[in-house]
Structure 1
């Protein structure tokens, strides 16, 4: 097998590993608030929304330390041990206690930062300038398939169940734990790419990008603490640039709507008694439609949008319109107290008789709109910060994670219509500032082109 074939196989293994892990974890996040409502235990008083808020808050602060961990133990072991933390979080639901629930949330937040840093490193060292786009597309597509398989399992496992019993819960979470562990051990199939005599076409790995400044200004013995501090300083510098400040609102919006489609909306569907006895199992079908929207959008706007002469603005505008249509239909179809309803659900109706078809259409639109925003945000940040891509993407994750943590926190007490209002306002203002950022990016590109012709 040629070195290039081995690298491509590494990317496929990486994508399949993440597909298994996030088949388990995303399914867990989609159903956990519904499951928690069904507990018949006086020893458990946790909230799925609070747990996810903790995960994203801890992840946002752990991003600056994650490169140091990957540098010490390598990307393969980093992904394996981080994956074990994900598996432990899922397994906790088999016999849940409040203290283990929130402790696992903190550990997953740390593991998530390390996992995604290591993933970026593996993707980079197995790619060249000519293959990075293709490999990113392969990884993205395989990852998004995780939205299909786990949710399909939930549909069949819970079909016709009005109440989620302890046996139902244990069966599902034992299965999800095993699926997650399979993904962890698949990381060991990734092989270190062969060193070629010619310099790699990829100018820097993820970790080299994080520490490029620190290695030129400090001694080799500065230590991990100094490296972590330098990485943090770089992220802070990128975050307060004019370009990133313009992208602050669209990045924050991407974190808010991530919270809504990955945790809140599924809970709302499961709480609607108007959907009949299949309401709980419809959570799985909703997740599948979100995944279909993500895969379709990622394919069209990621893989097939390399030379878009119209720029990024039309895609972002399409994402905003798609989301606004979804929010309006959700407002009409889902009762306002659905996010906070007890395990028995809510008998209230919104403005129309609850319609399953409309609910599933909204799921698809949420996934499609999310892919519109995320593909273009990654594109413009890579375009604006080509020489500092690692700290720029760390800044992206920082803003998204903080916004997601805030959204999961307020989901504990805000009714649905207030959550939708926050999304509408942030999405509208974020789209305007994205347009301004795109104008600035094009202006800088033209200036650079003019200087190059002198």
Structure 2
């Protein structure tokens, strides 16, 4: 096998490793609040929302130390040990205690930062300038399929279960732990790329990045207060809020609707599948549009906002206001229309589609604006997104559904306005550059 074939195989193995790990972890995040409410143990006093708030809060802070860890032990071992931590978090649900639940949340936050830093590193050293776009596409496509498989498993495992028994919970979480461990061990199949397969410039810049880590932290702080990043940070903050909503809160709401009958709990899995369909359709469509888009990024972001506003309005009409914080037996309240499973799943699809509109365009504009400082710029991106996701998971413990929707409507509207201004800055600076070169 030639160098090109070896690096492509590495990327495919990387994608499959992440697909197995996040099939387990995203499914765990989607169902944990519902599962926690079903615990028979009265000694347990945890909240899935609080756990996710801790994970994202620690994740954002740990972005500062992650590059050092990856530089010392290498990307392969970094991903393997981080994967074991993810598996430990999932396994903890087999027999949970409040202390182990929150301790695992802190450790997973640290592991997440190391995992994603190592993933970026491994993607870089297995790509050339010509193949980085293709390799990123392969990786993300494989990762998004994780939304399908885990949620499909939940749909069939919980079909017809009104109450999630200890046995149901243990069966699901033992299975998810095994799936996650398979992903971690797959990382050992990744081979070291041949020296000629890696462009010398990339490896040099990688070494420079490791030696000037403190400089990159300073650079990230400098970038965070630039006019462009401040404009984009409102849009980035919005992606953190809606990430919380579609990945943790909405599934819990569907599971709490007693009007959906005995299928309510299994519908959490079906909802996750429809979110995944929206993500894959949007990611594929707008990823390709970026290459031949004459109209800029604004129409895609506006489409994302309209898609989300339609979804929020339908959710407001369809789902009871106390659904996010309802007790284990669910909510008997009704919203403004007779609750419809079809409308609920349509909203899941729209949430995924809108999320992909925002994320593809934000990744594109940050990469374009900060081409010279992409690593610290994306560190700021992850930091802002993680902090707002942590904040949203925290308030999800207390706020009724309509207040959560209102917060997202306001921040989404302001974030879209600020994105339009940021894109205008990009277009006008590009025009100035074109004039200068004439």
* Superposition TM-score, scaled by structure 2 size: 0.98
- Asked if 1:270 corresponds to 2:255, the answer is yes
Decide whether the 8 Å contact of 1:133 with 1:303 is kept in 2.
no
Q: Deviations over 1:321-355 (max 9, x none)?
A: 00000000000000000000000000110000110
Change (3 A) 1:201 1:168: same
Structure 1 equivalent of residue 275 of structure 2:
290
Counterpart among 232, 256, 261 of residue 217 in structure 2 = 232
Q: In structure 1, what is the Cα distance between the partners aligned to 2:204 and 2:421?
A: 30
Q: In structure 2, what is the Cα distance between the partners aligned to 1:292 and 1:395?
A: 28
Decide whether the 8 Å contact of 1:83 with 1:180 is kept in 2.
yes
Deviates more, 1:321-330 or 1:301-310: 301-310
Q: Deviations over 1:191-210 (max 9, x none)?
A: 111001884475866x5574
- Asked if 1:363 corresponds to 2:352, the answer is no
Q: In structure 1, what is the Cα distance between the partners aligned to 2:391 and 2:261?
A: 32
SS in 2 for 1:4: helix
Decide whether the 8 Å contact of 1:210 with 1:391 is kept in 2.
no
Decide whether the 8 Å contact of 1:211 with 1:230 is kept in 2.
no
Q: In structure 2, what is the Cα distance between the partners aligned to 1:197 and 1:96?
A: 47
SS in 2 for 1:121: helix
Q: In structure 2, what is the Cα distance between the partners aligned to 1:10 and 1:201?
A: 20
Q: Deviations over 1:163-209 (max 9, x none)?
A: 0000000000000000000000000111111001884475866x557
Decide whether the 8 Å contact of 2:7 with 2:197 is kept in 1.
no
Structure 2 equivalent of residue 221 of structure 1:
none
Structure 2 equivalent of residue 170 of structure 1:
170
Decide whether the 8 Å contact of 2:4 with 2:197 is kept in 1.
no
Decide whether the 8 Å contact of 1:293 with 1:364 is kept in 2.
yes
Q: Deviations over 1:132-191 (max 9, x none)?
A: 111111111100000000000000000000000000000000000000000000001111
Structure 1 equivalent of residue 60 of structure 2:
60
Structure 2 equivalent of residue 122 of structure 1:
122
Structure 1 equivalent of residue 245 of structure 2:
260
Q: Deviations over 1:31-84 (max 9, x none)?
A: 000000001112210000000000000000000110010000000000000011
Structure 1 equivalent of residue 36 of structure 2:
36
Q: In structure 2, what is the Cα distance between the partners aligned to 1:271 and 1:198?
A: 51
Structure 2 equivalent of residue 315 of structure 1:
300
**Root-mean-square deviation (Å):** 1.4
Q: In structure 2, what is the Cα distance between the partners aligned to 1:445 and 1:181?
A: 47
Q: In structure 2, what is the Cα distance between the partners aligned to 1:260 and 1:101?
A: 21
Return 5+ residue gaps in structure 2 as ranges: none
Return 5+ residue gaps in structure 1 as ranges: 215-226
Decide whether the 8 Å contact of 1:209 with 1:388 is kept in 2.
no
Per-residue deviation, 1:449? 3.1
Q: Deviations over 1:76-116 (max 9, x none)?
A: 00000001110000000001000000000000000000000
Structure 2 equivalent of residue 222 of structure 1:
none
Q: Please identify which structure carries the higher helix content.
A: 2
- Asked if 1:442 corresponds to 2:420, the answer is no
